[in-house]
């Protein structure tokens, strides 16, 4: 007889579904496969699925070249991932991690469809960086089996994952997800469902302050970044990091917060960020933001 207070109990995590194979999703699929989980990688369109697969091949290729993995491990990891555009292939997944674009309506619709397709004991997890986990859990058909698992870019290198609970999350579901994060060789921290969780609640206002400093012409891009690198020991300065994350992502987080929490003074849209966003200069992904970026470059030039 099961001692679980959750019925049906939390399944043993064997198969992990990754829904969305973009910047974050491909990394989540890869690190899960590296830890020997069976991975079902899903994108709605074949071209996005192919792009996700290429990203994983590129990252594993780097690791192979630097002898961090053997050819045998490379093959094992690649063979551990099934790529699909068919929702039905997600039916027997134990854990479903969603990493699609940050659009609440889209995510809500997706969770409804996933609830219909996935087995009843499957656990649902969103990698959203700033949207409400509770709002998604409410429409998922299984709010007690719903958490946030928030990864950091680049997923393959960043060691942290935030595990986020809502008021509905069953403690056994939370513990299983926390322990899975350890299984995929990340360090888990726990937090409640609040805007930005821990990291982005601290990081995004600090990136905002750097942009406001630029708006006021208090210092140059180069000097602001150099200051935080050499004076605070950050691997990248704030404007460099904003470009690296993507100015569309930062813009969307701040715009969402400004609208939802108009009285929170830490949430403010800087002019220099909005201008670049409006011009389509989104940072590394478009080649231009606060810096000029060459192909594959992680160190843009001012
Ligand atoms: N897959 C596999 N290996 C990779 C890789 C990838 N995707 N990217 C780089 N590598 C390897 C490189 O080949 C290199 O290998 P080597 O040591 O054998 O030569 C090694 O990893 C280090 O790469 P680099 O020398 O290019 O990188 P750096 O040492 O300069 O570090 C960095 C790059 C990890 C990005 C570092 O600059 C950093 O930590 N920056 C800050 C990143 C950060 O703060 N991320 C969080 C953003 S916030 C977020 O994501 C939340 C969201 O919700 C907004």
- How many residues does this entry show for the chain? 302
Ligand 1: atom nearest CA of 155 is 7
Same domain, 104 and 170: yes
Q: Is 59 in the pocket of ligand 1 (CB under 6 A)?
A: yes
Spatial separation of the C-alpha atoms in residues 300 and 243, rounded to whole Å: 9
Same domain, 23 and 147: yes
Q: Are the C-beta atoms of 137 and 208 separated by less than 8 Å? A: no
Residue 1 located in a structural domain:
no
Residue 117 located in a structural domain:
yes
Same domain, 48 and 181: yes
Same domain, 172 and 73: yes
Spatial separation of the C-alpha atoms in residues 235 and 170, rounded to whole Å: 37
In this predicted model, what pLDDT tens digit does every residue of 224-266 receive, in sequence order? 999 999 999 999 999 999 999 999 999 999 999 999 999 999 9
Q: Is 151 in the pocket of ligand 1 (CB under 6 A)?
A: no
pLDDT score recorded for residue 295: 74
Q: Is 190 in the pocket of ligand 1 (CB under 6 A)?
A: no
The CATH number of whichever domain residue 218 belongs to comes to: 1.10.1040.10
Same domain, 172 and 33: yes
Name which of 271, 299, 272, 276 is nearest 289 in CA terms: 276
* Atom 15 of ligand 1, nearest CA residue: 66
The CATH number of whichever domain residue 132 belongs to comes to: 3.40.50.720
* Atom 53 of ligand 1, nearest CA residue: 129
Residue 270 located in a structural domain:
yes
Same domain, 68 and 216: no
Same domain, 145 and 212: no
Give the burial class of 128: count Cβ atoms within 10 A of its Cβ; 0-12 exposed, 13-18 middle, 19 or more buried: buried
pLDDT score recorded for residue 300: 72
pTM comes to: 0.95
8 preceded by a cis bond (ω within 30 of 0): yes
Ligand 1: atom nearest CA of 130 is 53
Structure tokens at 263: 């009285």
Task: Identify any residues that bridge with 161 across adjacent strands, giving them in sequence order.
Answer: 188
Buried b (16+ CB within 10 A) or exposed e, 92-106: ebbbbbbbbebeeee
163 vs 171, 189, 193, 289, CA distance in Å?
Answer: 12, 6, 9, 31
Q: Is 198 in the pocket of ligand 1 (CB under 6 A)?
A: no
Total Cβ atoms within 10 A of residue 132: 18
Q: Are the C-beta atoms of 136 and 96 separated by less than 8 Å? A: no
Which residues in the chain show pLDDT less than 70?
Answer: 1-3, 296-298, 302
Number of domains in the chain: 2
User: What ipTM did this prediction achieve?
Assistant: 0.95
SS3 272: helix
Spatial separation of the C-alpha atoms in residues 58 and 52, rounded to whole Å: 10
Residue 4 located in a structural domain:
no
Give the domain-ending residue among 153, 172, 192. 192
pLDDT score recorded for residue 16: 98
Domain of residue 185, residue span: 15-192
Residue 297 located in a structural domain:
no
Residue 10 located in a structural domain:
no
Give the strands of the sheet with 15-19, arranged side by side.
Answer: 81-84, 38-42, 15-19, 95-98, 123-126, 146-150, 160-165, 187-192
């Amino acid at each position: 007889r099961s001692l679980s207070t959750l019925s049906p109990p939390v399944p043993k995590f064997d198969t992990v579904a990754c829904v969305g194979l973009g910047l974050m999703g491909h990394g989540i699929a890869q690190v899960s496969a590296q830890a020997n989980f069976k991975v079902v990688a899903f994108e709605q369109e074949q071209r996005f699925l192919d792009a996700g697969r290429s990203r994983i091949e590129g990252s594993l290729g780097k690791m192979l070249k630097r002898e961090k993995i053997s050819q045998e491990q490379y093959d094992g990891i690649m063979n551990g991932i099934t790529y699909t555009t068919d929702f039905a292939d997600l039916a027997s997944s134990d854990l479903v991690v969603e990493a699609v674009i940050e659009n609440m309506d889209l995510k809500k619709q997706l969770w409804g469809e996933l609830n219909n397709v996935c087995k009843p004991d499957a656990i649902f997890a969103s990698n959203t960086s700033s949207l409400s986990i509770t709002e998604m859990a409410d429409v998922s058909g299984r709010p007690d089996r719903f958490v946030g698992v928030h990864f950091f870019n680049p997923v393959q290198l960043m060691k942290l994952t935030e595990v986020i609970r809502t008021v509905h999350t069953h403690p056994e579901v939370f513990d299983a997800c926390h322990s899975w994060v350890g299984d995929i060789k990340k360090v888990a921290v726990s937090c409640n469902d609040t805007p930005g969780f821990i990291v982005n609640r601290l990081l995004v206002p600090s990136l905002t302050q750097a942009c406001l400093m630029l708006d006021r012409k208090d210092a140059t891009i180069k000097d602001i970044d150099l200051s935080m690198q050499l004076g605070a020991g950050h691997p990248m300065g704030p404007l460099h990091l904003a470009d690296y994350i993507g100015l569309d992502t930062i813009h969307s987080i701040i715009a969402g917060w400004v609208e939802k929490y108009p009285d929170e003074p830490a949430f403010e849209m800087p002019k220099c960020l909005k201008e670049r966003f409006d011009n389509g200069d989104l940072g590394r992904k478009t080649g231009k933001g606060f810096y000029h970026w060459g192909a594959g470059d992680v160190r843009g030039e001012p």
